[in-house]
Amino acid sequence: MTVARPLSDILDEAHSAVHAGVTYSATPWPTGFTPLDRELGGGLRAGELVIVGGAQGLGKTTFALQLARNVVAAGGSAVYLCYEHDERILLQKLLAMEAGYAEPEDGATLTQVSDALQAGGRAGLGLDDRLAHLPGAAAALSRLRSYGDRLRLVTGSGRSTGTQQIRELIRPLAGSGILVVDYLQKVSTPGPPTTEDERVTTVVAALKDIAMDFAMPVVALCAADRDGIGEGRTRLAHMRGSTAIAYEADIALMLNDKWHAVARHHLMYAGAGAGRYHDWVVCTVEKNRAGRPGTDLEFRKRFSQSRFDPHGQVVREELIDDRVFRE
């Protein structure tokens, strides 16, 4: 039963906790993307629902998996629930990602990792032997083993993995890490089939409740609708399903290919050099309840290593369609 507590009791509780040396405010989990953490005041906080949206092929899974990796590499825990790839694919992505961290310019690529793990005629060889010839792979394996117990990879089913199952998955991690859902529109709902708007409304509200009930950030990837997959810039309003996505989210990060997001005059005057814009993804902090929305950051794609350059920078060029979501 919900109890209405007087503010005086809550103040007394805060005073006692702080006096006893207990941290009353939740410590944020850094995303590991340097300029993004600055914009978010240190990272993601307990109880927050974080939406990561964008068109297909922009690296939403890469971004979210790298974020989860960064949290566990910093000592936290994470559950990565993926409706798009199984654990084997995610493991290969993580191996390439860690090889890239170990050897930023020359680390093993995702293709090389995948090829090394093919059965072929090399039965009897373990992971270490199969990957030994790849640059950065030994360091990658060592790193994965160092945090392997704190990162849980789960293959979701659009028919059976719903919010109640998600609650059971993350119960052991309450307050100690993050949950990533890849992606929101695939989460199943109970009962007979309903419209996508109704399903998304139900799922978004449930994920926000999970974030608050388990005192952890929930990062949910979102697919864009048809209007958000054109030549223009994908915004929060273009996410598939209900407007509840925009209103329930505490933080909304929109990913766009810089080529499609930058103002046309930059493309015209850059000449042959305009092609470099394809190497970058713009990450717009479109909604931020605890800070300033509308900041445009950019991160270089390192997709051959299944990652982004985590350092990034603020976008210097003018972008098209600078409207942001406001409540």
CB atoms inside a 10 Å sphere around CB 54: 28
- Could you count the other beta carbons within 10 Å of the beta carbon of residue 133? 10
In terms of DSSP H, where are the helices of the chain?
7-19, 34-39, 60-73, 87-102, 110-116, 127-131, 137-147, 163-170, 196-213, 244-248, 258-261, 264-270
**Does 326 score more than 50 pLDDT?**
no
What pLDDT does 123 receive?
A: 65
Over residues 29-49, the mean pLDDT reads 95
Give the least confident one: 28-37, 121-130, 186-195.
Answer: 121-130
pLDDT for residue 213 is more than 80: yes
Phi, psi of 256 (to 5 degrees): -140, 145
**C-alpha triplet 209, 221, 70: angle, nearest 5°:** 90
Contact between 262 and 313 under an 8 Å Cβ cutoff? The reply is no
- Per cent of the chain over pLDDT 70 is 89
Q: Give the whole-number percent of the chain exceeding pLDDT 90.
A: 56
Residues 148-151: contacts with CB under 8 Å, at least 24 apart: 150/72, 150/75, 150/76, 150/77, 150/78, 150/177, 151/68, 151/69, 151/72, 151/77, 151/78, 151/80
Q: At what angle do helices 163-170 and 196-213 cross, to 10 degrees?
A: 20
Q: Report the pLDDT value the prediction gives residue 154, as an integer from 0 to 100.
A: 93
CA-based nearest residue to 304, from 80, 104, 148: 104
pLDDT digits (tens, 9 = 90+) for 79-107: 999 999 999 999 999 999 999 999 999 99
Q: How far apart are CA 128 and CA 38, in angstroms?
A: 37
Model pLDDT for residues 130-187, shown as the tens digit of each residue: 888 999 999 999 999 999 999 999 998 878 889 999 999 899 888 788 999 998 999 9
* Overall average pLDDT of the 103-112 stretch: 93
How many other C-beta atoms can be found within 10 angstroms of the C-beta atom of residue 196?
13
Q: What is the pLDDT of residue 327?
A: 47
* pTM of this structure: 0.90
